[in-house]
Amino acid sequence: MAAPSETETVGDRLLLSPREPLLAGGAAEAFEGQLRQLIRGGRRHLVVDMTGVSAIDSAGIRALVRGHTSAQRASGSLRLAGARPAVKRVLELSHVASVFEQYDSVEAARYAALPWRQILVTIGGIILCSAMVYAGIRWSEQLQGFGEATDNLLSGERPRGTLMHPLRPFLELLKLVLAALVGLLVSTIHQPSPRERSSTRSMEQAQTLLCVSGAMMMIIIGNSLARAFGIAGAASIIRFRTPVDDPKDVTILFLLMGLGMSTGLGALAVAGLGTAFLCITLLLLDRVARQSARVMLVEIVAGGREFPTTHVEAVFARNQVTFEPREITQADDVTIKYQTWLSPQVALEDLSGQLMAGGSAGVTAVSWERPKHA
């Protein structure tokens, strides 16, 4: 009988250390059962120390993939650390290496477990908003735009501050840079809802550029009614043709336009506080109302008598798709129907392409449909 893997608690993570090859016939099945039992018991974040695993086969890979999927289903993760070259080679040949986060050592896995992206975005956002608020309060007069300077000059009034300084154009350029940074920060926190990756990327870029365009318009307009009508006439020939499915995305676009306008006017304190407020509000809304997963039925047909279970489950795991086999039909081909739960951000066409893998994985057809009683 296979011995259970040694376990050790490290913070909120559980370290598992199997000490024998994960092969069919006992060890792999026992390890899969241990993973399932731990996740059901509430342990969501797991690190598997692979230094003691000298060999692995399809049963061992299946255990790791299913453990990874079960952890994701519980909003957790499964990482591999210290895998030997022979084991890495088997994972690569099975096309599942990219499914797992792999690290050279257990210490590296622990270090990488920290949410560095969120930490960096938070620090960058705090610095950006604080700098804008400070600059807006400290140099409020000097930051007013070209429009005010021009109107003051034409009316014979003496410009305030350093409005006509030779370096003034570079100050206006700084406003555009700040507007772009505001757009990037908000786009990083708020992920648009389109399901196709190309549409999502276009929407993220549109959010940033819209903020910059707002700043540019207010730099040009200033307080001139004539210039405002001119800009409105020029903008009327532009059509925004990117489909927007989520009403929240439309609202974000308007808010970004407003933040860009505030930056262009030189009201950096308002823009900085508004950016901070918007980012915090988006984070709170995401925590209060998580996007519900789409429930879809997928029918996968494979040629021959063998179904590429490892490949299919690896694709599901890579895309964070929770799945459950429902029907199996075997004739000249093997057909398995799965019920899946996937994020609205996942594109079905892209997922089908990964499952098909250009015919190299043995999958000949993939079809999706909504369940009758979802």
Return the number of other C-beta atoms located less than 10 Å from residue 168's C-beta: 15
List the beta bridge partners of residue 15.
8, 47
* Residue segments in the chain with a per-residue pLDDT below the cut of 70: 1-12, 112-115, 144-168, 191-203, 220, 222-247, 287-293, 345, 373-374
| pTM (two decimals) | 0.54
Give the closest residue to 259 by CA, choosing from 251, 268, 250: 268
Model pLDDT for residues 304-354, shown as the tens digit of each residue: 878 888 888 888 887 878 888 888 888 888 899 998 888 776 778 888 888
Q: Where are the domains of the chain?
A: 6-112, 116-288, 294-369
Model pLDDT for residues 57-88, shown as the tens digit of each residue: 988 998 898 888 888 777 788 889 889 999 99
Q: What confidence score (pLDDT) does residue 138 get?
A: 86
Question: Is there a contact between 340 and 321 (Cβ–Cβ < 8 Å)?
Answer: yes
6-112 under CATH 2.160.10.10, yes or no: no
Cα-Cα end-to-end distance for the chain? 42
Q: Could you give the CA distance from residue 307 to residue 28 in angstroms, rounded to a whole number?
A: 20
Q: What confidence score (pLDDT) does residue 192 get?
A: 61
List the beta bridge partners of residue 340.
296, 323
Fold of 294-369: Alpha-Beta Plaits (3.30.70)
Q: What confidence score (pLDDT) does residue 162 get?
A: 43
> 222 in the Ramachandran plot: left (φ > 0), alpha (ψ -120 to 50) or beta?
left
Where in the chain does DSSP place strands (E)?
A: 6-10, 13-17, 45-49, 77-81, 101-103, 294-303, 322-330, 333-342, 363-369
Residue 232 buriedness (CB in 10 A; 0-12 / 13-18 / 19+): exposed
DSSP letter, residue 299: E
Query: For the sheet containing 333-342, what is the strand order?
Result: 322-330, 333-342, 294-303, 363-369
The residues near 160 (Cβ < 8 Å, ≥ 6 apart) are 141, 144, 152
